[in-house]
Amino acid sequence: MNEMNEVRKPPVATTGIIGWLRINLFFNWTNSLITLFVVYCLYQFIPWILDWTIFSADFKYNYLGEQITNQEMCSRNLDPENGGACWAVIYVRFYQFIYGFYPKVEVWRVNLAYIMLAFALLPLLYAKLPYRKYFLYFTYIFPVIAYFLLNGGLGFTEVSTNKWGGLLVTLVLGCTGIALAFPIGIMLALGRRSKLPVISMMCTLFIEFIRGVPLITLLFFGMVMLPLFLPEGIDMDGLVRVLVAVTLFQSAYMAEVIRGGLQAIPPGQYEAAKSLGMSYWRMNLLIILPQAIRISIPPIVNTSIGLFKDTTLVIIVGILDLLGIGRGTLADTNWLGLSYEIYFFVSLVFFIFTFGMSRYSLYLEKKLKTGINMGAD
């Protein structure tokens, strides 16, 4: 009977790498067929893309060893048999891609702002940071510092916003849009659910109007119509006008996302809070919103990523963001025809940022355990 007591190991075929492969990739014949097909495609694609982007590519010098200063000097244009991507265009134009037309002597200010942005984000992204409270103070005043750093004033030379461009504009639009839209969105969501008819109607009207028109229309509105509503003599900056449009757009979407979260909160939570004698604001701030926002994390990140990518639309009103600088480079007779390299680079930068946002939201969801049903039963 000894044999009966012996602990039997699971069958070899369900553990380890082989087991994983069997279960995930070769579970049945359709599954296996798809796996083989995908592997074949990757086998065809990966060596080619690696060769094009890295092994055969020019980075600064072409295959003759000359430094590349225009597209004719790219290896692939000198000799079609030779050479992959010509990254020299990115190398030469890197400054423009990152800072736009920001004056070179003042560029340390942008660099400083980039570094400070990282520090400002740190306490928001990482809750266990030592001295988090002090870091948070810094986060609150960061927008003011960044404004003076980038724009000028307080002893800094002014750099008008039409000299801004590239990643700088993309980040300014993305960060400001997302950061401002969040509180405005919360207020709009609460307003729309308010029992006071005027407030609820106004919020609903605002949200429905803004959601009902495309971002491009709002950008045009900001660019063309807004100056007409301002008293003469007040010259509103072009970038600010676009920022207003982007923020309005994003806050309407954010409001609906948060309203979705609010609706998922069971009525018992409201009743419990009220029975403790809490006021409307205390109830929302302490009981309702923390739960509502927690379950809304995936759609909040979703719309934020959407906005980050939508910022490329500002090219329509003549602001050169990262993509705009790419297109401008393509219009330089020195770099005609390098569209693959430029679009590849721009999409890579966008991918890094959006993928980072999406990973962060996953980390947040895990940390806050949003998958768990919160007392609805």
Partner 1 sequence: MKKLLSIFAVVAFAFSAHAGTLDDVKNRGFLKCGVTTGLAGFAAPDDSGEWAGLDADMCRAVAVAVFGDRSKVEFITTTGKSRFPTLASGEVDMLARNTTWTISRDVNLGFEFVGVNFYDGQGFMVPSALGVSSATELDGATVCIQTGTTTELNLADFFRLNGISYEALPIETNDEGKENLFAGRCDVYTTDASGLSSTRAAASNPDKWVVLPEIISKEPLGPLVRHGDHQWGDVVRWSLNAMIIAEELGITSENVDAQMSSNVPEVLRLLGVEGNYGEMLELSNDWAYQIIKQIGNYSESYEANVGPDTPLEIARGLNALWTQGGILYAPPFR
Site for partner 1 (CB under 8 A): which residue of 123, 177, 222, 238? 238
> Binding of partner 1 at residue 234 (CB under 8 A)?
no
End-to-end CA distance of the chain: 48
Helices (H), 276-317: 280-282, 289-295, 297-310
- From 91-99, 119-127, 141-149, 203-211, span contacting partner 1 (CB under 8 A): 91-99
Site for partner 1 (CB under 8 A): which residue of 327, 354, 357, 370? 327
Least Cβ distance, residue 65 to partner 1 (angstroms): 20
**Residue 117 or 330: which CB sits closer to partner 1?**
330
What tokens were used for 129?
């940071």
> Binding of partner 1 at residue 245 (CB under 8 A)?
no
> Binding of partner 1 at residue 278 (CB under 8 A)?
no
Minimal CA–CA distance to 57: which of 71, 75, 44, 79? 75
**Rounded Cα distance, 33 and 256, in Å:** 43
Contacts of 336 (CB under 8 A, 6+ apart): 71, 330
> Binding of partner 1 at residue 339 (CB under 8 A)?
yes
- From 27-35, 95-103, 128-136, 174-182, span contacting partner 1 (CB under 8 A): 95-103
**Rounded Cα distance, 212 and 226, in Å:** 19
3-state helix, strand, coil in the chain (%, to 5): 75, 0, 25
> Binding of partner 1 at residue 217 (CB under 8 A)?
no
Calculate the alpha carbon distances from 19 to 11, 25, 26, 239 in Å: 9, 10, 10, 56
Site for partner 1 (CB under 8 A): which residue of 63, 147, 220, 360? 220
Per-position x/- string for 148-187, each x denoting binding to partner 1 as judged by CB under 8 A, each - no binding: ------------x-x-------------------------
Quote the DSSP letter at residue 102. Answer: -
Q: Are 290 and 340 contacting, i.e. CB atoms less than 8 angstroms apart? A: no
Which residues, listed in sequence order, are joined to residue 58 by a DSSP beta bridge?
A: 86
**Residue 96 or 291: which CB sits closer to partner 1?**
96
> Binding of partner 1 at residue 107 (CB under 8 A)?
no
Site for partner 1 (CB under 8 A): which residue of 23, 41, 50, 225? 225
The sign of the torsion formed by the CA atoms of 56, 60, 65, 66 equals positive
Number of residues lying near partner 1 (CB under 8 A): 40
Least Cβ distance, residue 277 to partner 1 (angstroms): 55
Residue at token pair 């369900």: 14
Residue at token pair 């050479």: 83
Least Cβ distance, residue 225 to partner 1 (angstroms): 8
Residue type at 304 in one-letter notation? S
**Residue 93 or 109: which CB sits closer to partner 1?**
93
Site for partner 1 (CB under 8 A): which residue of 159, 169, 215, 320? 320
Applying CB under 8 A, which residues contact partner 1? 69, 72, 76-77, 80, 92-93, 95-96, 100-101, 160, 162, 220, 223-225, 227-228, 232, 238, 315-320, 324-325, 327-334, 336-337, 339
